[in-house]
Amino acid sequence: MLGLLTRTGISVLLVLSPSTSGVDGPIVATILMTFSGLALLWIGTLVGRRLTGWRAWTPAFVVAVGLGTAAMYSADLCRAGNYAEAPNRPVPRG
């Protein structure tokens, strides 16, 4: 929950002040906190043995897919310059 709440706060900060810099580190930290919490939920689900079969492995699937997605996510979406100065310019890929 702490990771999600922190990420929400950072998102609000970025909406209110798009030129805010230095948020890449906290964004990565919130991703790690969120998926650590999901991993703990998965372990608790397995240890508690209240769910069986594929339902017991659902939190692990969410962690795996989420970490795969986060690994492909680029924190630096605008390497070619300040995107806030030219919002209609296409985002460079590559």
Whether 38 is in a domain gets the answer yes
| Four-residue CA torsion sign, 59, 63, 64, 69 | positive
Which domain does 48 fall in, by range? 1-14+31-69
Do the domain assignments include residue 59? yes
Over the chain, what is the mean pLDDT?
Answer: 76
HEC per residue, the chain: CHHHHHHHHHHHHHHHCCCCCCCHHHHHHHHHHHHHHHHHHHHHHHHHCCCCCHHHHHHHHHHHHHHHHHHHCCCCCCCCCCHHHCCCCCCCCC
Q: Is residue 10, in this structure, part of any structural domain at all?
A: yes
pLDDT (tens digit per residue) in 61-82: 988 888 887 777 654 454 545 4
pLDDT at residue 12 is higher than 80: yes
- Say what the pLDDT of residue 46 is: 87
Percent of the chain with pLDDT over 70: 77
